[in-house]
Structure 1
Amino acid sequence: MAVNQMDDVIQRWRTTEDFKPEDHELFLNTGRTCIAQGDSSKLLDFIKEEANQRIVRSMGSGLLPALVNEVLRKDRSPAYCQVILNELVQICSVQELLDILLEQVEETDPNAIADSVIVLMPLIQSVLLRMRESKAPGLALALDSLQKQISRLPVPYSHKQEQEDVYGLCRCCTAVLTFVQPFVQEAKNQDTNLVATKLRATLLTFCMNSLREPLLQVQLDREANTTEISPLRNFATEIMAILAVIQESLPKILFYQPLRGKEDTILEKDACHPNESRACMAYLLFVQLIAIEVFPAVFSPVFVLQCNMEYINLLLSRKDESWILKGLDLYVKCLERVTDCSLPVELLELKPFHEVPQNLIKIMIDCPIQHLRGRSLVVFQLFIEKLNGEAKHKFFRRIMKTSHHAGVESIIIKNIKNQVELCRKSAYQDGWFEGTWLISLLRDTITLPQGHETDLLHGMDRIMESLNLLRYLLIKEREISTGIWIDLCHIAESYTKLLRVCLSMSKSYYGKELKTLREDKKIKAKEFKEAPGKRSVQSLIVKTETLGSMPLEAQDKVLQCALITYDLMESLVVRIEDIIEEGQK
């Protein structure tokens, strides 16, 4: 269209009260052409001209997508386009602007999420600040759209990845904090205002979602010795600060729901993953000590542990390394605050207290990550040490009946020995590990679960600890009688008698297999000389593992180790029998 013709159209637009669809189409086509041809300065002049304000207010919002795309382009200077965007968000209809900008957020290129949302956030903020009663609903829509896109970005795993910030998560977290600050201040300064109340509810949802993603995946203490400020740790700190500002108290969020089974009144009932968010909040408070200065110090350690057990259980029940680490660290910090041997037996009946040790055991046994297995064992032992005598006694019985794992059972038996030793070496008195209570526990503990069919190698850890416990108890009881000698001897004799049967069968079997193997090695050596390409290996089962794929030398060593283990068990059996015989003289 010629310039003079366009001038005529503009003059008509300045005087008309109603713009037709063809007017909108012409305005948008002309504006997009200016943008595409790099004539953004002319478009800016048009927008700034006072006589054109009504035209721009009615039709200017349609230019937003083209302007945003131009700003995101790397091959041109977007200065004029950025200024135009800033002008439009102050002139056009706020609802139209918000709808278009949120549509731009939702249609973001997956390969340019960070760049796009960082450009769009200040524009959306400017639009929302122009709103009045609809500000809180608009903010809720905006934060929901922005967080959905930000949650698609990979979380940096190492300090180096966080510094490089290839995918832009750190930049987005910093930008979204800037985005919400004006609304936080409004919610804080206008405490009784209805809009402020709605803003607080919206901001609470934002904070809870942020705790869930990305903060639940972030490893905040991966390099504690670095002097550089971590953007993600700063994000966590600011989220907790916002929570402290918009909510009457952090305990209300953290402790109200797990104790009473109700949602916080300000937290929407359909909020996403509230317990996961609270679990992250507990971790930030009690492990990272973020915002701990505003958390009341009036709660007892046992109460804090009790409230956090649901969150610990949630974290430990997942397979994500970051979740498990947070659960273990939170459990340790809560247990360390508890006075030694003070957790009562009643707590064991509560669902989280019952489930958390089971989750620890699963990690100890099944987790493929070695440092998590080792860490869970340390935490498991710490938990045991915090139980009082009655709780230990009941917990040991429960685990021995339910774990079905020789390694775990050996830990329990070792703890029984430690508890008895503690009672006898000091003035510490605990009837649960003395007299009839101890005998009752031993009857359930010192057993071969499968009788004479027990796989001694598979159950080696439990068997060795059981024999060591019997030897220790018999020696101590012979030195200082506490009245359990007869019962103790009966338990020991029943156990060793059955164990001798198993040992005899196992030694005979493995001795025969070793002899056969060595004879087979001679045959294989001869076959190797005669026909090098023809080989076969014998298949054996030891500790439920097939040895057939092993070289013959390795099979030989495994069988020898098995026989040595049986000899060691037998030597302990002999020693126990000698102690009993000496005590009866």
Structure 2
Amino acid sequence: MSAELGENSFPSTISTLLKAGNTVQAVTLFTDNKNSEEVRNNSWDLVPIVARYLTDECETNNIEVFKCCQKLITVIAENSKPEEVLLQFIEELETADDDTKFVMLLKPLEVVLLRVPDKRVTSLGWCFNAIVDYLKKLEVPEDLNLVGEERLLLDSNEIVNRIVYLYNELLSFCETFAKELRGVTSSKNILERKQVVARFFVELLGSPLAFLDMVIYKNTKSKARLLAEELITAFCYLNLDPYKFLEMYNDSDLVKPSDLSLGVFYYLILSEEICHNYLPKVYNPAYTLNYSLTFVNSLLSQDGQFVVEKGIDLAAALLKNVDQLELPYVLLDSENYSKFCKIISNVIVHNECVELRKKGLHALHTFLWSFEHQGRYLLVKNLIRNITHSGLKGNLITTYKEMITQEIKTSGIKNLPPYYVTHKLYNILDEFTLLKQKEETDLVDESDRIIASLNFLRYLVLVDVSGDIGIDSYLETLENGYFKFLRTGINMSQEHYRLRIKEVAEEDTKVETEDCKVSVTVSGKDLIEMPTEKKIEVMQMSLTTLDVIDSILSRVIECIKIKKPNV
């Protein structure tokens, strides 16, 4: 039969045989030496004919044809022109929407790549990018805010198992190219191949793997963690400098890891300390922080508990290395630093996971303390100016108070840096005590910041006995502005809540109708849907908060009168 085949009939004959389920004859034709030239020269037509059966549906419903096509695709990979069939395999990968087809193409793709003359870097790059593009289309698990032992449940998630399955299939593919390059003399061609393969390993750490849990819990490693360790180990066996990615001045853009992938890469090495001994010791920690923040920001900007956690942990690891260095304030000119402050603040305020909010706050504190005094001053001042959350503002005010306290203990009150005294201090106090709506400010909503600022002012009045801090010169500004607005605002708010409590209590004695409901708003939130008891409870809590503010304000004013009777 083969002798009778016309020039273009071989592919169509194979197609007809496969459609009819005549697998024996299809394999016979493919393996007949008389048709070797047909196989060699017709890969462009043969690959899509055979690949269409390498699907989950065909494996389920027509296993004989599926197994037959597994053999045929291998024959094509082994005998066709490598440059030509490679392009066809890449096209099949790019259009694949079936995990089975994706996996079935990996082994023949590996065979072809090993046959490409000199293992051309461009060929590797094209294949690796096609693989990564397929993986990026995979669904990631829903963010369930799992904590503690609950995290282990993720390994039974169907979406996670799909991701793990595909990555496990990929590992042998990765190992082939890593093993081929180990211990090979580093000619220019070999070095370029190593770099492309290494970038591929790093890029595989991005989506979707980045969104899975990689923390060791009670000596138990998740499936994603084991995959990540394999990829990092494969990278390290190539004997390349992991820090070469920091500035991304690579000589090839064939495979360029994303910031997300690099974030996970450095998280695993620096925070989880996987293959940590491969890190060169010559790099300055400030340098690595400066260039790694962009990867931290990428992790923190994602939607997902585990990927955000990686960002916080990476930040913590980087900041731990710069502890006691007192970073120069000029670093803050970099956009990465302002972006980090903005994103980590957003995590602290809005993330649904309590543990992540706490870890984020600790990372921000460490970040602030890592700078010399001018840097700390600029960071606190700009954060207070740009964030809106009262609780975080109050925390920053308390942190600044702790900075002054620490410096007094260390250097003495007479040797304080200029950023804690007189005009610089007055500038930051202007931010701490700002009431945009003056006496009409919602004091309950702003209570955390107000309480922290009053405690800070009381501390300054008490500690500045010698006058070296210069708080005395700022007292008139406080009295004519901040204190005045607070006192008026407290009185107005107390009257407001007492009146509302009375109205709600009276309403409860009447017949409930839609028209007679009293509208109650606390800190911008409408309480109309609450039961009467709950409304009164919330407003009583608001009155208690106002009483606390009033009490601290009175103590501050009393301290000022004792210090300066004429004030």
Q: Match of 1:219, SS? A: coil
- 1:188·1:196 contact (CA, 8 Å) conserved in 2? no
Distance 1:340 1:520, change over 3 A: same
Give the counterpart of 2:445 among 440, 458, 463.
458
Q: What is the total number of aligned residue pairs between the two structures?
A: 547
Q: What's 2:18 paired with?
A: 32
Q: What's 1:139 paired with?
A: 124
Q: What's 1:260 paired with?
A: none
Q: Match of 1:498, SS? A: helix
Q: Mean alpha-carbon deviation: is it higher for 399-408 or for 244-253?
A: 244-253
Q: Distance in 1 between matches of 2:186 and 2:324?
A: 47
Q: Distance in 2 between matches of 1:387 and 1:547?
A: 44
Distance 1:242 1:267, change over 3 A: farther
Q: What RMSD, in angstroms, separates the aligned Cα atoms of the two structures?
A: 3.5
Q: How does 1:472-511 map to 2 (within 5 A)?
A: 472-477=459-464, 482=468, 484=470, 486-487=472-473, 489-494=475-480, 495-511=482-498
Residues 452-489 of structure 1, C-alpha deviation per residue, up to 9 Å, x if partnerless? 232211211111112222233333345x6657463364
Q: What's 1:178 paired with?
A: 172
Q: Mean alpha-carbon deviation: is it higher for 308-317 or for 271-280?
A: 271-280
Give the counterpart of 1:317 among 301, 320, 336.
301
Q: How does 1:156-555 map to 2 (within 5 A)?
A: 159-162=152-155, 168-188=162-182, 191=185, 196=190, 199-200=193-194, 202-221=196-215, 223-227=216-220, 230-244=222-236, 248-254=240-246, 256-257=247-248, 263-268=249-254, 274-340=258-324, 342-425=326-409, 430-432=416-418, 435-436=421-422, 437-439=424-426, 441-477=428-464, 482=468, 484=470, 486-487=472-473, 489-494=475-480, 495-522=482-509, 524=510, 527=511, 536-555=516-535
Q: Distance in 2 between matches of 1:447 and 1:409?
A: 11
Partner AA of 1:199 in structure 2: R
Distance 1:516 1:82, change over 3 A: closer
Q: Distance in 1 between matches of 2:420 and 2:112?
A: 74
Q: Distance in 2 between matches of 1:451 and 1:534?
A: 35
Q: Distance in 2 between matches of 1:129 and 1:273?
A: 23
- 2:163·2:209 contact (CA, 8 Å) conserved in 1? no
- 2:94·2:134 contact (CA, 8 Å) conserved in 1? yes
In the superposition, the TM-score normalised over structure 1's length comes to 0.81
Q: CA deviation at 1:331?
A: 1.0
- 2:263·2:296 contact (CA, 8 Å) conserved in 1? yes
Residues 527-575 of structure 1, C-alpha deviation per residue, up to 9 Å, x if partnerless? 35xxxx6663111332122222323322222332222222222222322
Residues 493-538 of structure 1, C-alpha deviation per residue, up to 9 Å, x if partnerless? 343233222222222333333333333333x1xx35xxxx666311
Q: What's 2:146 paired with?
A: none
- 2:121·2:193 contact (CA, 8 Å) conserved in 1? yes
Q: Distance in 2 between matches of 1:48 and 1:170?
A: 35
Q: CA deviation at 1:168?
A: 3.1
Residues 4-60 of structure 1, C-alpha deviation per residue, up to 9 Å, x if partnerless? xx4xxx4456xxxxx433x32664256436x704x52x5545554555545554568
Q: Mean alpha-carbon deviation: is it higher for 97-106 or for 299-308?
A: 97-106
Partner AA of 2:372 in structure 1: N
Distance 1:67 1:488, change over 3 A: closer
Q: What's 2:79 paired with?
A: 91
Q: Distance in 1 between matches of 2:457 and 2:12?
A: 95
- 1:153·1:169 contact (CA, 8 Å) conserved in 2? yes
Q: Match of 1:353, SS? A: helix
Q: Match of 1:455, SS? A: coil
Q: Mean alpha-carbon deviation: is it higher for 360-369 or for 78-87?
A: 78-87
Q: CA deviation at 1:139?
A: 3.2
Partner AA of 1:232 in structure 2: A
Which structure has more RCO (C-alpha within 8 Å, separation ≥ 6)? 2
- 2:184·2:190 contact (CA, 8 Å) conserved in 1? yes
Q: Distance in 2 between matches of 1:405 and 1:227?
A: 38
Q: Mean alpha-carbon deviation: is it higher for 298-307 or for 70-79?
A: 70-79
Q: CA deviation at 1:335?
A: 1.2
- 1:241·1:291 contact (CA, 8 Å) conserved in 2? yes
Q: Match of 2:204, SS? A: helix
Distance 1:518 1:323, change over 3 A: same
Q: Distance in 2 between matches of 1:181 and 1:485?
A: 66
Structure 1 regions of 5+ residues with no counterpart?
1-5, 14-18, 258-262
Q: Mean alpha-carbon deviation: is it higher for 284-293 or for 400-409?
A: 400-409
Residues 425-476 of structure 1, C-alpha deviation per residue, up to 9 Å, x if partnerless? 5556533465425455435433433322322112111111122222333333
Partner AA of 1:561 in structure 2: M
Q: How does 1:41-60 map to 2 (within 5 A)?
A: 43-45=26-28, 47-50=30-33, 53-54=36-37, 57=40
Partner AA of 1:537 in structure 2: K
Q: Distance in 2 between matches of 1:549 and 1:380?
A: 38
Q: What's 2:137 paired with?
A: 152
Q: Mean alpha-carbon deviation: is it higher for 159-168 or for 416-425?
A: 159-168
Q: Distance in 2 between matches of 1:117 and 1:55?
A: 26
Q: CA deviation at 1:318?
A: 3.6
Q: What's 1:16 paired with?
A: none
- 1:315·1:323 contact (CA, 8 Å) conserved in 2? yes
Please identify the structure whose Cα radius of gyration is greater: 1
Q: CA deviation at 1:418?
A: 1.9
Q: CA deviation at 1:286?
A: 1.1
Using the aligned pairs only, state the percent identity. Answer: 20
